[in-house]
Amino acid sequence: MDIVLQDTLTGHQNPIYILASDEANRILYSAGNDKGVVEWDWNTLKFRRILCAVPSSVYALHVIPDTNLLAVGMRSGEIYIVDTVQQTLQAKLKVDSGAVFSVKSLPAKQELIAVGEEGRAYIWSLGNFELLYTFKISDTTVRVIAMDEDAQYLAFGDKNGFVHISNTEDYHPVATKQIHEKAITSLCFMHGSLFSGARDAKMYKLSYPSLEVQAGITPHMFTVYGILNLDNSSYFSTVSRDKTIKIWNQDLKLQKNVSRDKGIDSHFLSINSQAYHHQLGLLATAGDDKMIKVWRLSY
């Protein structure tokens, strides 16, 4: 496989914390410390518009499937639900305490789930955005949520290195286990396993829901900020505070190492997020250097 820089998107004035891809409409969203959400065109790799202004830093973006809605999770604890066609604010949601680090949806149940900084999960209806219920996951901050490919399980990663598994039917806890020594910063279900990455620079391949360690490596020198399934292939990518992008196969064997040290025009500060457009074979990465790099992948 090969990875080649296609373009560099500039315009953000502050670090970028999160990217999200709207596959169907071929739109890439980016946000961070700029207090606004930016739209880019996946086809032309050009700036489209500023979708909306927001009152605080953005930590989470989630494209709600089969709708025109984008969920925007913020440091303030607010979640804006934005209609990306009408460019209107459809709802303002709020967690009780601290920032919102992750937002996901369960289309089959028509529910939206987010985690607050105090370790609680919040469930809203996607129909009217009423709060349905909350439940405690952990005694500490939960930074990341992932859902398995069959939409049967949710995984949560907390600040103490614990992975928590709940079922999606009634959010009943199924398993909890300490996997990392430091805060978990990325989770990804793929090909029948759960992959976790953390501030301890480790990455583990886990069975689920039992959370038995199948394999483990140290993929980066610092925090693993993203694990992303490069669908239609057996490969996945990781990004890190060590400024590198790495491509792996399912056996955790390194396929590509993208960094400035290799003479590649990559990021020169922490890479915080990544997003992939499967049809186009384009991977976007972004971070503290305020730039979005778009890479073309070929297999």
pLDDT for the residue 231: 74
Which strands sit side by side in the sheet containing 153-158, from one edge to the other? Answer: 142-147, 153-158, 162-167, 173-178
Q: Encode 106-140: b = buried (16+ Cβ within 10 Å), e = exposed.
A: beeeebbbbbbbbbbbbbbebeeeeeeeeeebbee
Give the C-alpha separation, 109 to 171, whole Å.
12
pLDDT for the residue 220: 96
pLDDT, average across residues 244-250: 97
Instruction: HSE, CB side, 13 Å, CA atoms: give it for residue 112.
Output: 31
Give the C-alpha separation, 181 to 236, whole Å.
23
Tokens 């529910």 belong to: 111
pLDDT, average across residues 34-58: 98
pLDDT for the residue 157: 98
Q: In terms of residue numbers, what domain contains 243?
A: 2-298
Q: What's 104's domain CATH number?
A: 2.130.10.10
Q: Write down the pTM of the prediction.
A: 0.97
Q: How many angstroms separate the first and last alpha carbons of the chain?
A: 4
Are 277 and 285 spatial neighbours (Cβ–Cβ below 8 Å)? no
pLDDT at 196 over 80: yes
Tens of pLDDT, residue by residue over 81-118, are 999 999 999 999 999 989 999 999 999 999 999 998 89
pLDDT at 233 over 80: no
pLDDT for the residue 34: 95
Between 6-20, 133-147, 225-239, the lowest mean confidence (pLDDT) is in 225-239
Cα-to-chain-centroid distance, residue 118: 19
pLDDT for the residue 116: 82
pLDDT, average across residues 39-52: 98
pLDDT, average across residues 156-177: 98
Our count of domains for the chain comes to: 1
pLDDT at 232 over 80: no
pLDDT for the residue 216: 98
Using alpha carbons only, what angle is made at residue 22 by residues 120 and 103, rounded to the nearest 5 degrees? 0
Give the C-alpha separation, 53 to 58, whole Å.
10
260 phi/psi in degrees, rounded to 5:
-65, -30
Tens of pLDDT, residue by residue over 199-215, are 999 999 999 999 999 99
Confidence band for 299, pLDDT divided at 50, 70 and 90: confident
For the record, the structure tokens of 291 come out as 């730039």
What integer best gives the mean pLDDT of the chain? 97
Tens of pLDDT, residue by residue over 258-295, are 999 999 999 999 999 999 999 999 999 999 999 999 99
